[in-house]
Amino acid sequence: MAEETIFSKIIRKEIPAKIVYQDELVTAFHDISPQAPTHILIIPNKLIPTVNDVTEQDEQALGHLFVVAAKIAKEKGIAEDGYRLIVNCNRHGGQEVFHIHMHLVGGQPLGPMLAK
C-alpha cells in the first residue's frame, strides 16, 4: 500500500489549498510555489505514487486529468496562447511528492523544455 501524502489531505480538505476543480476522479489546485502566472496541479483522487505504478484500472482517472486540464486552461484564459502539461516520475525526473500529479503551467512564454 502506498504511503499517504500531503495531496491526500488536500483531496479530503483536511489542509487548506486553493482548489479550482474537484470531482469523483480528480482534484486540481494552485501550486504553492508557482513557476508561471498560472500553475495548477491536477491529481487523481486515488493515490498512485509514480507513473511506474499506473495500471489499466487507472486509465479513466488519468485520461480525465487531460480533460480537466483543457477545461481549466480555457477557464484561466491560457488555452489559445498555449500551456505546458508536465508529469514528473521519480527523483531523477524531478518528482517531489509521490502522488502522481500533472502540472498545468502557462500564462507567459515558457521557453525551452529542458536546460542543457
Distance CA 107, CA 49 (A): 28
Q: Is 64 a catalytic residue?
A: no
The grid coordinates of residue 67 equal: 480533460
Q: Which of 39, 64, 99, 101 is catalytic?
A: 101
Cα-Cα-Cα-Cα dihedral sign, residues 39, 84, 26, 50: negative
**Residues annotated catalytic, as ranges:** 101
